[in-house]
Structure 1
Amino acid sequence: MGSLGALLRHPDDVYPLIKLKMAARNAEKRIPPEPHWGFCYSMLHKVSRSFALVIQQLGPDLRDAVCIFYLVLRALDTIEDDTSILTDVKVPILKEFYRHMYNPEWHFSCGTKDYKVLMDQFHHVSTAFLELGKGYQEAIEDITKRMGAGMAKFICKEVETVDDYDEYCHYVAGLVGLGLSKLFHASGSEDLASDSLSNSMGLFLQKTNIIRDYLEDINEIPKSRMFWPREIWSKYVNKLEDLKYEENSVKAVQCLNDMVTNALLHMEDCLKYMSALRHPAIFRFCAIPQVMAIGTLAMCYNNIEVFRGVVKMRRGLTAKVIDRTNTMADVYGAFFDFSCMLKSKVDDNDPNAKKTLSRLETIQKTCRDSGTLNKRKSYVLKNGSNNSALIILFIILAIIFAYLSANRLHK
């Protein structure tokens, strides 16, 4: 659970953290008994615990389809990410990967840790895929084929311009948005969303990840992975890796803020997409990652630590997002609060300050115009209260919970 210091500063994190931990345990208990489905859901929990929690709330058929869609794309991504695979080996595999889903005998050894297990035992995923409804299979095949071709293209092509950046993000994430929209429609739960809005849902998440993961990608062994577009970073340094050096700290932060400002372009589309969703479980499935993304951007903006280590939301705040993102009013409130947090960090001397503020004001206006902001309590921004009695109560509850959990494990 969160560190003691964080819990003392944010005592209201404790209850959402306890609920999240209990939900994770309950989800793990619901692993299907069939070997192939058991492998798929167990692997889902290992490669994305928060995603696995949200997916469990979907209806059975859609839940299975989204689980397999995620694992298929995670396997494809593992091949793309493995910089030890020679290009002339990697490119054909990426292009033909969509065919392998129909072959329960196929596997390919690459990746590390849980991802290597996924690749070595991919036959379980293929077996489960073949049990999905035809509409689900066709949607997954179409997106996997297009994504593999796009990934192969960028194995041999650098991300030079902002247009290249948008194209790359489309292939690796925008297509995920399109695919999920197709799966939601195939389930009969939602109307088919437009490609442009679906694409923006994916781009917003992907650009957030690319910004957050700068240091991990640039330090990749045996070869750096570079996704920040030259058109942006070349305004600040001569080489992308120069951003991580202390002597370039000022320019690095300016470049970071430029990247965040670019990502903000997609927020309004994301709100439009989510506001059209009807099914509560599908809504939460879509909304929680989007709130996490704007929260992560707020943490990263103007923060030199992006070039020194990992910047992310504290676990307690993540638990709150998962617990309290239930309606579109919750999303408007979170987007407004995180944009306020980001706005407070904008330095008037930053080269992109005016552009950043303009985009933040646009999204804040959309949130205000929803008419929902005065009907909720902010869980993002501090309200200045610090009730010591409440802190003690929450810590006692946390200790009791930990004690009971430990006893259950030893029985």
Structure 2
Amino acid sequence: MVVCWILGLGALIAWNSILTIGDYYYKLFPRYHPARVLPLLYLPFSIATMGILSHNVSKIKTRWRNLTGFSLFFIATLGLLVLDLATSGKGGIGNYIGICIIVAAFGVADGHVQGGLVGDLSFMCPEFIQSFLAGYAASGVLASALRLISKAVFERSADGLRKGAMLFLAISTFFEFLCIFLYAFVFPKLPIVKHYRLRAASEGSTNVTADLAAAGIQTEATTHGGEDDKQQQRLSNKQLFIENIDYAVDLYLTCVLTLSIFPGFLYENTGSHHQLGSWYALVLVAMYNVWNLISRYIPLVKCLEIKSRNGLMIATLSRFFLIPAFYFTANYGSQGWMIMLTSFLGLTNGYLNVCVLTQAPKGYKSPEQNTLGNLLVLCIQGGILSGVALDWLWLIGSKHQF
């Protein structure tokens, strides 16, 4: 579970660093809406990559998929650091295009890692997915904490924003390298992981052969006839999706609502009814990240976990009341109400994601659980892309120009 937590942190820390140093990019590129443009660039590449890999999930070795993703994260994060050092932290359209290209590479890496790891963990303990998702949220908390600390330390120094951003990118690069090491050499050799992968191989999964070989286990080749029987018994991607359409809708709508507010709205549309100045957006992002992390541990208390499919749908739809709540609070409310709303946004986002992703794979064989995990993550990414696109609607009637 500790390794899963670190892998989850590494799967998103690079992207969370980009979001959290948004104030630095707003200083360099004040007219280019970085908090809205960069997610809109990142997500199409992530979804396209994940869609291709999910369609061919039974033919792809999960080990090489995840290692490719983490390696690309490492190279891209290091690239952002090098680009800033090479340009001495200057703005301009050329540097902005370079950042956009690297962010697109982040999307490709995310398409490899997120679906690959969730699919891999879906046929193991539900606690593994919960721990991975908690690490996923912890990356945001770490990024926010470091940003607040760096702002406090460097605020009065020359080029303080840039120094904080460099610190972020250096730490992110280290964690990406750590994840490469853990997934390549530690995770496949854990006894419980070998147990689940051997069971998956016995149920016809071909994705795990490279992982088992890395752990020193050679699986016997399946006879042609036996493999044909397993393929016939296996549900297709379409059948799996239809059987779990409500779970897919839950994840899609949860992410649509969250990303239509976070982070663009928090940076550009929260009004002037506050006394925190340049700290305001950072505090809001930090509160979202903290409660997003806390909420991912709530389902571990079984009496607090929603297991009903109808209950999950009702909870998901109820969150849409947050849209008018954020609008009126931004225009007429105080900073305390906005902080509370942002905290609740994070609380419900993390909780619903964990409830759905731990419940959905139950009752299927290992290859189907792997495939379903990939399909559900694809729905999450689709929801995030839709939410980021809808986030632009907040600019209508505001003082910020498109």
TM over 0.5: no
Q: Greater relative contact order (Cα 8 A, min sep 6): structure 1 or 2?
A: 2
Structure number with higher helix proportion? 2
> Where on the TM-score scale, by shorter chain, does this alignment land: which range?
under 0.3
Instruction: Report the TM-score, using the length of structure 1 for normalisation.
Output: 0.24
